[in-house]
Each structure stands twice: as C-alpha cells, then as structure tokens.
C-alpha cells in the first residue's frame, strides 16, 4: 500500500536525513473540530457529558496521528500542504513502515480511511468491545472497538473530503524518556511551535520523492544528495489540463569545460 505525505522543503530534508515520519497529538492538529468526540455516557446522568470530555482529553493526550493521503496528484493538497507547489510529496510504503501491524498501531493504515460527514454521530456505539477498554492506555488494534476508534479518530467534516486522507494512529502513553514505546521508537521534536512525535521508519520505506512544480532550483540541488536518483521525480503541469504529471528528475547539467571570454572593443 503506497501512501503520500505532502511537506515543505524543510520538513522533507528533516525526514530524509533522520528517516522519521511525524505524528501529532489530536489536539495539536490544525482543525479544532478534528479530535476525539465520544458520545455522552448515559450511566452518569448529568455528568455524562463531562465524563465524555474527560475521556476525549485522555485519548487526545495519549495518542498520535500520522495523516497521509492516497494520491500525489491533488492540486489542493499541493497548495495547502506542499508549500504552494514549492515543496514535495513523499511516497511511503505503509507495509515497510509496519503500519499494518495490529500489535503496534491503534488504527492500522489499511483500516485508517477517513470518513467525511456533515454532522458527527453522537449516538451510543452499536458495537460493544468484548472486553474493557482502558481509556488512553491502549496501543493495539482490536476489531471489536473499531466503531469507537473510527468515530474518535477517523471522522472529519465534509469540507475536508478532497484530502482523501488515510490515518495511522498510535498509542504513546508508555513513551519513555529514551523515546521507546510499544508503538515504535519516537523522537519528540519542535515543528511550527508544537511538539511532533517523529517515528523512526526504515529508509527503504520511502519509495519516491516528488518535487513540486515550483520547487526552487537551489532546493532541488540540496535534495539530490539525500535521495537515490531513481527515486527522485519532478512534477509538472500537464499541457491543456489541470492535471499534475511527474517524470524522473534529469541529472544535473555538467559544468562547461570551456570558458568564454568576451573582450571589450578598443
């Protein structure tokens, strides 16, 4: 399963140099409506809503989300997340990253397709877990609580449907000071004024880097040493359409062996 991550050039260089992929806590995402949204708990009466909010906070503070997409040809995604077509789209092999493993992913990639709705479903869950769920303390996927996970982490407002988003959700409550967790090995870094949990992934999981239509020549030169030539592509606008195409990035032009001197006239 190949998925894509749109990034600016600065983030691209960091990802390539460290072989990491960023995960964000839900409450640090850019949309305030994007986060755990549990239904009220009827058994608690007037405190049902408060209990639900406490659960939401626990899940939000102990989980991290990696937002990916199914295509690298989305012009809106390039404009919004690819630095106005000056950044890049990274092609990622989800299996090589371990994103299908139910033991290390609260929501694995193959079950992480986002559902876009006009209004969130606040009714009680139809399915019930076969055993109790410890709020904010889970790291593995269980099919019997998929409805709950889908409503909390995979439901977004309809206006975001253009993103074709696929999410990987990891539990990070057990993250040690050394960055070790049952969900993987992380490094907490600062990005855009917020904490980002950078998950270490195999270097070979990055299958391609697609440079934006407006990528600066100087930035392209700085990327060449970080990516094998066969994995580096340049995007372009298809003539006569609004489609985005891509082609292997040609090798740099050799420096001229000759120096041309223009002598001023006497």
pLDDT digits (tens, 9 = 90+) for 206-223: 999 999 999 999 999 999
pLDDT digits (tens, 9 = 90+) for 1-31: 999 999 999 999 999 999 999 999 999 988 8
Phi-psi region of 85 (alpha: psi -120 to 50; beta: other; left: phi over 0): left
Would you call 6 helix, strand, or coil by DSSP? strand
pLDDT tens by residue, the chain, 266 residues? 999 999 999 999 999 999 999 999 999 988 888 889 888 888 777 788 899 999 999 999 999 999 999 999 999 999 999 999 999 999 999 999 999 999 999 999 999 999 999 999 989 889 888 888 899 899 999 999 999 999 999 999 999 999 999 999 999 999 998 999 999 999 999 887 888 999 999 999 999 999 999 999 999 999 999 999 999 999 999 999 999 999 999 887 765 444 444 455 54
CA dihedral 128, 132, 135, 140 (to 10 degrees): -90
- pLDDT above 90: percentage of residues in the chain: 76
Give me the helix-helix angle, 9-18 and 217-224, nearest 10°. 0
Would you call 218 helix, strand, or coil by DSSP? helix
């Amino acid at each position: 399963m190949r998925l894509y991550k749109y990034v600016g050039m600065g983030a691209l260089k960091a990802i390539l140099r460290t072989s990491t992929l960023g995960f964000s806590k839900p409450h640090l995402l850019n949309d305030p409506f994007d986060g755990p949204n549990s239904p009220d708990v009827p058994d608690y009466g007037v405190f049902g809503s408060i209990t639900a909010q406490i659960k939401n906070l626990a899940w939000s503070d102990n989980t991290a989300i990696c937002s990916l997409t199914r295509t690298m040809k989305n012009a809106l995604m390039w404009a919004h997340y690819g630095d106005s077509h000056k950044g890049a789209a990274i092609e990622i092999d989800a299996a090589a990253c371990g994103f299908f493993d139910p033991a290390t992913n609260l929501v694995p990639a193959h079950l992480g397709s986002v559902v876009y709705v006009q209004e969130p479903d606040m009714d009680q869950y139809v399915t019930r877990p076969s055993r109790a769920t410890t709020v904010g303390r889970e790291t593995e996927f269980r099919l019997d609580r998929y409805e709950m996970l889908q409503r909390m982490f995979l439901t977004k407002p309809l206006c975001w449907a253009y993103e074709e988003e696929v999410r990987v959700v990891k539990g990070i409550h057990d993250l040690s000071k050394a960055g070790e967790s049952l969900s993987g090995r992380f490094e907490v870094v600062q990005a855009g004024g917020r904490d980002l949990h950078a998950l270490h992934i195999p270097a070979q999981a990055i299958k391609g880097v697609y440079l934006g239509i407006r990528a600066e020549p100087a930035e392209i030169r700085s990327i060449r040493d970080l990516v094998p030539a066969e994995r580096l592509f340049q995007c372009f606008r298809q003539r006569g359409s609004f489609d985005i195409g891509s082609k292997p990035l040609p090798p740099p032009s050799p420096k001229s062996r000759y120096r041309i001197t223009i002598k001023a006239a006497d």
